[in-house]
Amino acid sequence: MKINIYYGGRGILDDPTLFVIGKMTEVLTELNVNVERFPLYELRNQITSLPASINEADGIVLATTVEWYGVGGYMMQFLDACWLYGNKEKIGQTFMFPVVMSLSSGERQAKTNLQVAWEILGGIACSGLCGYVDDATSFELNGEYIKIIEKKTENLYRTISQKMCSLPSSNQAVKQIVGGTKNIPLTPQETEQLSKYASDEQYVARQKEDIQELSSLFKGMLEKKDIDVNKQFIKDFEDHFAPEGVVNASYKFMIEDRKKSLILEIVDSRLKCYYGNYDTPDILCRIKPEVMEQIIDGQMSFQRAFMTGDMQVKGDFRILLLLDQVFTFLSAEE
């Protein structure tokens, strides 16, 4: 079982929310749960890509602190990104446990807001945990409070492991009225700019015909090529390898319909690229060959493929970002 914790506070030293999710992590670890924490204040420039990390989780915790009013900007940005870019089918199967601690007031309303938001997204909201903290030290030393946190965490574990059902919510009807947006491989600004074209039925029909024609042409070109799958992509990565400074990282690409994985080993900014096996890569990627072709041709970046769900990833997200920095596929096409 894996549970992701998304922390929307500012990371200040005496933040009681950090204490709560720390205790929850201890309990879940004892229950052999894989826990991964995402501090949104550190990842604020990557929030739009974080919904993809939900794809690998059985449940998530949305934890934030009310310092003056509401759940705060980082958490709202993350929820916005889930609405725009998240995999709605996966979200619909994911349990969400809200944690809201307050230094002022409004913790119950903030917790309710998180539950409602997750249900509108299509997900399953748990009862959650909230409280007001006047003195962080006395709160952390209170044994009864710790028992409550531990009990709630155990209930979360049971809820997810047993996949407990809940009664239907009217928020699901709200989702149907608003309309569940599909995954958008564009930024909100790009989506707004293209909205006028999407409303033109003749333009949309013409674009579909063009795409179908190009797809048939591209498929025919690939069929004519005599491709050695044991060497495909290797020269492309070697030719476009351009690291800056000292880079150490390892990547394993599990390409669909290929018996062997494509391995990229970068040691002291030297690249070793081959097909084979590598047991402990920093990043493990699942990808289709046509998506890899698009990346190599400069039609999309590795990060865009990850954000849109065309590439599934396990590992350190920071190391994933290095791919677009050390391989110049995009700049070669510009």
Q: What is the DSSP string of 200-258?
A: -HHHHHHHHHHHHHHHHHHHHHHHHS---TTTTTHHHHHHTB---S---EEEEEEETT-
Asked if 244 and 231 touch (Cβ cutoff 8 Å), the reply is: no
Q: Is the pLDDT of residue 228 over 50?
A: yes
For the segment 133-158, the average pLDDT, to the nearest whole number, is 93
Over 80: is that where the pLDDT of 158 sits? yes
Q: Is the pLDDT of residue 265 over 90?
A: yes
Given this model, what pLDDT does residue 181 score?
47
Tens-digit pLDDT profile for residues 161-217: 988 876 666 655 555 545 544 545 555 445 445 544 554 566 667 777 777 777 766
CB 286, CB 56: distance < 8 Å: no
Evaluate the CA torsion angle 187, 64, 118, 152 in order and state its sign.
positive
For residues 140-148, average pLDDT:
93
Please check the confidence at residue 286 and state whether its pLDDT lies above 50: yes
Integer Cα distance of 25 and 31 in angstroms = 10
Q: What pLDDT digit, counting tens, does each position of 293-325 carry?
A: 999 998 889 988 888 888 999 888 788 888 988
Half-sphere exposure of 302 (CA within 13 A, CB side): 21
- Which secondary-structure segment (H or E) carries 272? strand 270-276
Provide mean pLDDT across the span 53-63.
Answer: 94
- Report how far residue 197's alpha carbon sits from residue 256's, in angstroms, rounded to the nearest whole number: 34
Q: Which amino acid is at 276?
A: G
Give the Cα separation of 275 and 328 in Å (integer). Answer: 21
Q: How confident is the model at residue 218 (pLDDT cuts 50, 70, 90)?
A: low
Q: Residues 92-104: what's their mean pLDDT?
A: 93
For residue 95, the model assigns a pLDDT of 95
What is the band of 267 on the pLDDT scale with cuts at 50, 70, 90?
very high
Task: Answer for the pair 303, 49: CB distance below 8 angstroms, yes or no.
Answer: yes
Closest CA relative to residue 299, chosen from 288, 291, 310: 291
pLDDT in the model for residue 177: 47
Output the six-digit token pair for 327.
């391989």
Q: Is the CB of residue 127 less than 8 Å from the CB of residue 91?
A: no
Q: Is pLDDT larger for residue 246 or for residue 167?
A: 246
The full set of domains in the chain, from first to last, is 2-178 (3.40.50.360), 234-333 (3.30.1050.10)
For the record, the structure tokens of 93 come out as 């199967």
